[in-house]
Amino acid sequence: MGMSTELYLEGLERQEIAEELAVEARILNRCEWHVGFTYQNGWDLETVYRMAAWRFKRGQIPGPFRSQRELTDAIEAVVVDAPMACPRCEKMRDED
Ligand SMILES: [Zn+2]
């Protein structure tokens, strides 16, 4: 496996973990029909940062995070990138 592939997979793993934390903190909603899709639910990033920091210090965060900063950066990225609604649902609504 090449270095770039490894980095790519590491990024995906980080993204997945960050997304899971954001869903748990209710910053993101997971679509009940499309499990792979999340969308924005709130902007209270402090809550999810606190939760992430707490768990990071206890070693409860799986995955390739070398620092707490990396973890919060990943969380911020998934929240900022998240759509306002599930893209699949939107598409289905448009096709009606
Ligand atoms: Zn959906």
Residue 7: the pLDDT is 87
Rounded to the nearest angstrom, the distance between the alpha carbon of 86 and the centre of ligand 1 is: 5
Please name each of the domains of the chain with its CATH number: 3-95 (1.10.10.1920)
Taking the centre of ligand 1 as the mean of its atom positions, its distance from the CA of residue 82, in whole angstroms, is 13
Ligand 1 centroid to residue 42 C-alpha, Å: 17
Q: Which contacts of 71-76 are long-range, i.e. CB under 8 A and separated by 24 or more positions?
A: 71/14, 71/17, 71/18, 74/14, 74/15, 74/17, 74/18, 75/18, 75/21, 75/22, 75/45, 75/48, 75/49, 76/45
Residue of 21 and 96 predicted with greater confidence: 21
pLDDT digits (tens, 9 = 90+) for 33-80: 998 899 999 888 999 999 999 999 999 998 889 999 999 999 999 999
Report the separation in Å between the CA atom of 50 and the middle of ligand 1, taken as the mean of its atom positions.
28
Q: Tell me how far the alpha carbon of residue 20 lies from the centroid of ligand 1, in angstroms.
A: 17
pLDDT exceeds 80 at position 3: no
Digit-coded pLDDT (tens) for 6-34:
889 999 999 999 999 999 999 999 999 99
DSSP 30: E
User: What does pTM read for this prediction?
Assistant: 0.87
In 3-state terms, what secondary structure has residue 16? helix
Which tops the pLDDT comparison, 64 or 82?
82
CA of 13 to the centre of ligand 1 (A): 22
C-alpha to C-alpha distance for 67 and 15, rounded to whole angstroms = 15
